[in-house]
Structure 1
Amino acid sequence: MGSWHLFECGSCGYRAEVSGGDDAGMLVSTTTVFCEACTELYDVVTENRSWKAGGPIEGPQEPRCPKSKKHPIRLWTYPGPCPRCGECIEDRGSVALWD
Structure 2
Amino acid sequence: MNRPVSPLRHVLQQILRAQGGLRLEEIAERAGIAPDEAASMVDYWIGRGLLTREAVDGGCPTAGCGGCALARSCASARTGAVTPPLLHIVRPVPDGPAG
TM-score computed with the length of structure 1 as normaliser: 0.24
More strand by share: 1
Structure with the higher fraction of residues in helix conformation: 2
